[in-house]
Structure 1
Amino acid sequence: MSHRNARLTVHGRRILVERVLAGRPVAHVAAEMGISRPTAHKWVRRWRAEGDAGLADRSSRPHSTPHRTSAVVEAQVCRLRTGRKLGPARIGPILGIPASTVHRILRRHGLNRLAWLDRPTGEPIRRYERDRPGELVHVDIKKLGNIPDGGGWRTVGRTAGDRNRQATTTERKSCTPVIGYSYIHSAVDDHSRLAYSEVLPDERQHTAIAFWQRANAFFTGHGITVERVLTDNGACYKSKLFTQTLTAAGIAHKKIRPYRPQTNGKVERFNRTLADEWAYLRPYTSNTERTAALADFLHTYNHHRCHTALDGHPPITRVNNAAGQYT
């Protein structure tokens, strides 16, 4: 693609050559097309030497860069970055080179952002995305503490919050009221990021299976045929019944490698968004109020919230049959 200020595209250069070959002076053709005579001569010369291939855009990168930092120094910069997680301001004095040079080296090797590195190993994170909706769906569970009726201490203060806890439950553990937890089961499509979540009372296998059946119906309703499901190694997902349920529906069940949650990163990142933009968005006065707000969040996330991985578009824009216009 030509740069934004280019006067000629490949098609325009071909017209220039045709006019010159027709016998018209190069200076006249250049003036008509708003370019200089040297530029016009350049394209004619390239066409005569290479044919139509010579009219294509070329990189402006020089053939040689004698002042470029040596490969040995670049390797040392990369080792300090991946091994010690140091930035340009720290690496520069160690190797005796400017911090700006270090930054250019890190950018050249894709190491300029620590977020792109796996912290324990220092290896660049391999990001991937499936080619079509339904090819892979990430499934996970997030655990949240329940909210006592009337609000917890963040909403009404510690004295009133403790009183609400006492009134909400009769369960006690060492004289302390046990409110319990809610389990947010979520499924996120790898390609479109379309998400489905439910607030459920536990994370047992039968609960997980029932959730997946409803999630699968949700994706089917959007024209998505699920082919594979990726989960962690939680007890409910390791059960044979969960895998058999998927297999019976023609869906392959994949589990991540132990202690590698980043493999299931899309739903893990969705869990963080859930926490920031729903669970902890504002103080809720009851567990029921928080649960009721989930539906609005999911609609906003799927249909209106811009997603940086989708060039600022919401997930629904990547769904094949979003409006149900095809049968």
Structure 2
Amino acid sequence: MKSLLCTAFGPLEHLAISEIRSPRPGPGQVLIDVKAASLNFPDALMAQGLYQVKPPLPFSPGTEIAGVIVEVGVDVRGFRAGDRVIAITGWGGFAEECAVDAGRVTPLPGGMDFETGAAFLFTYETALHALQDRGRLEAGETLLVLGAAGGVGLAALEIGKVMGARVFAAASSEDKLALCRKLGADEIINYVSGNLRDRVKELTGGKGVDVVFDPVGGPYTESALRATAWGGRLLVIGFAAGDIPKVPINLALLKERSIVGVYWGESVKHDPEGHLRNVKQLMEWFAAGKVKPFVSERVPLSEAAAAMKRLIHRQVMGKVVIFPEA
């Protein structure tokens, strides 16, 4: 089968399409014919050896797929060959077939196609876990989303609106902000051409926002923290800007602010029941037309590495979906 293979951690240019043997499902696993896979920021970090998880080499990146089960391993219950499913793989998704633990697999809902399924769970579960479980966002509160035009940023924007928040979308260009406005942002902020803290204060009458959703890091985290209200919560999602910020801790003291870590992938192990509740909630919102991933690019496997480079240079809006069999 064809696979985008990483044989050594390093520059994304080293990734190459290779013919490798199809995997076999082990005990508790299913083998999935990958119809679509989506690109997430950890995929690019993992291939460079910059992520907290380092798979054994060689491996295929790709954390999120949708497809059809072609074989089930021993001790698998609830799935059979022919089932249409979504899976969070950890890695291995940028290939024509992928073996996945059955516990990481979810039935593809009726009315959801493979493209949407592949682009759905990773970002929306991250955003829902962050806003609901960690940020305790309540209806009527204000939410500032950094990197709001990215995949996880748009998910946070949509979920924030569904939860009843007033959502401020912050991004680095006018075209990104136009997309955020189109998808429901109440206010938009260009944090490259303007002062983030000052603009938030202006929009909130000096109060500040209640919750910050921060997948960006770098120089924007401190400004966003300073822009929070009394009791504000800053949710640490990731560091797309490339730098892990060093924030003066007295900023937490001055307004009883909280800096809250969000590690959705690990949280699933600690609270599997909460994970299932969140999946159920997201599927209900999708069926009701309240949330849907925005797919900006559709590419074959041969263009996946180039798309990863665009992602790390923050040139992607929404989600990129990869079609391994194209």
State if a TM-score over 0.5 links the two structures.
no
**Structure number having the greater strand percentage:** 2
TM-score by length of 2: 0.24
**Structure number having the greater helix percentage:** 1
